[in-house]
Amino acid sequence: MTFKPSLLTVLLFAVPAAAAPWVDTTDNYLRQSLQTLSHAGVITGPVNTYPLMWKNIVADLAAAQEQPTEELRFALAHVRSALNANQHNYIAGIKLKASSDPSLYQSFGETYFDKASVSVFKEYLGDNWAAKTQVNYRKLEDGSNEQELTYDGSYMAVIAGNWVLALDQQPLWWGPGQQTSLLVTNNARPIPSLRLSRHSWQKSDAMLFSWLGPWSFTTFIGQGEHSSIPQQIKHFGARFSARPLPQLELGLSRVSQWGGDTLDNGLDAFGDMLLLNDDDNADNLAAVDLTFHTNLFNRPFSFYTELADDNGGRKLGKPMQLYGVRTFFGSESAVHTLNLEWSDTYIRCEEQMVAGDCAYEGDIYPQGYRRYGRVIGSGYGADARVLSAGYRYQTFDGYSWAVSVLRGEFLAASSELKNWQLRLEYRQPLFNGLLSIEGRAFDKSPQPELRVKRGSLAATWEYRF
């Protein structure tokens, strides 16, 4: 039996999609369907780098055959409907957000950095170019030194051959982590960057590289503000991912902070940073990740890991670590996904006797690997050991649920906090738009000194036309 979604179904599912060359980090439900198809081999390339290019997905969907299980038919119909919405050459919209407290622990999906915000955007898609203008007005926390008016989410991209060159301020997510990742996530506001990415992940014909299978590559240079000296810090990042076997996805990532006010910003300093030759002018981090897809007890499982290290400046006694497993089941009308994940950023520096105050820190930049106080890597921040479990339920009528629970040890040098958190999310169509509601509850205040409450409530409503 082949499932054929109605026009209403397609429109409801298409709400989060946009006229862009890539899939962004805002829709975890779409990501789950992409990962489900990746596990089954319907999507043939690596899917652990966001933004994720649509071109690759288009080719794989065109070649997709009738799927043997109901949950795969659901995922295929979901991604096809999102792709259908992505074919529009113009789209505009408005997004309203409100939150009782900014989210302290950020995962893949919608972000809540502010008390409230209003975003207005227009997006265009041409034959070899795409652009989006997004203006965000934000109600900030008292005492914040950030801007009330930002352009996060904006971009201008040109496609030339098999490469996409973009000037953007887009959130990134590198790695297979479901709840968090170690090197690059959407936990901090995106950095204004010039980004170059491979458009298609087709494998190389050269014998020396053909064993890599489908592969992707992205690199960026950007500049981010810090509230301490040095300011106007330069950023460089690069990620290579490949799928040498249908069951195996590999990723290599590197991010560097270098230069800034009072430091060397010249070409020689840039070259030294690339070659890891200057610990006095750059802070360098790297990560490797792996995902293995298999079937156990007649059920699909994806096992994944990520290890991240500081290869310049302070030396970590051991790498930061992340391990997890994901599975799924369901029918043609609804799919369930489950994951269990462990992450550890409570690391000892080589010159220290005890752990802590090491991961994401550095001697050059007082704020470390952060933007406006939020770690660019793990959504749990530094000095945290967290076990989390997540469940998602999505239906073809546009109603979706998610729940996650975590047990964390937050072991900052000045304090130690063991904390439970329960997070609930609900999503449904409303007034021709999409409403998302998120609630969080803690067994104790995660930041008593800041009077952060033991619970919070947040909501987003987005309307596109």
- Please give the pLDDT value at position 19: 56
Which tokens in the block code for residue 316?
């970590």
- Please give the pLDDT value at position 3: 40
- Please give the pLDDT value at position 411: 84
pTM of the model: 0.93
What is the Cα gyration radius of the chain? Answer: 21
Cβ of 115: how many Cβ atoms within 10 Å? 18
Torsion of CA 365, 371, 372, 378, to 10 degrees: -110
- Please give the pLDDT value at position 447: 61
> SS3 of 450, please?
helix
- Please give the pLDDT value at position 449: 55
464, 98 contact by CB (below 8 A):
no
- Please give the pLDDT value at position 413: 53
Does the domain at residues 22-464 carry the CATH identifier 2.40.160.130? yes
Residue 310, CA distances (Å) to 11, 188, 409 in order: 45, 19, 22
378: which residues sit within 8 A by CB, 6+ positions away? Answer: 180, 181, 182, 185, 187, 320, 343, 345, 360, 384
Domain boundaries defined on the chain = 22-464
Amino acid letter, residue 288: V
193, 220 contact by CB (below 8 A):
yes
- Please give the pLDDT value at position 452: 62
Query: Tens of pLDDT along the chain (465 residues)?
Result: 344 444 333 333 433 334 578 999 999 999 999 999 999 999 999 999 999 999 999 999 999 988 889 999 999 999 999 888 777 788 899 999 999 988 878 899 989 989 999 999 999 988 899 999 999 999 988 778 888 999 999 999 999 999 999 999 999 999 999 999 999 999 999 999 999 999 999 999 888 889 999 999 999 999 977 666 788 899 999 999 999 999 999 999 999 999 998 899 999 999 999 998 888 899 999 999 999 999 999 999 999 999 999 865 567 778 999 999 999 999 988 999 999 999 999 998 887 888 888 899 888 888 889 998 899 999 998 999 999 999 999 998 889 999 999 999 988 655 678 889 999 999 999 999 999 999 999 887 666 555 667 889 999 999 998
- Please give the pLDDT value at position 362: 81
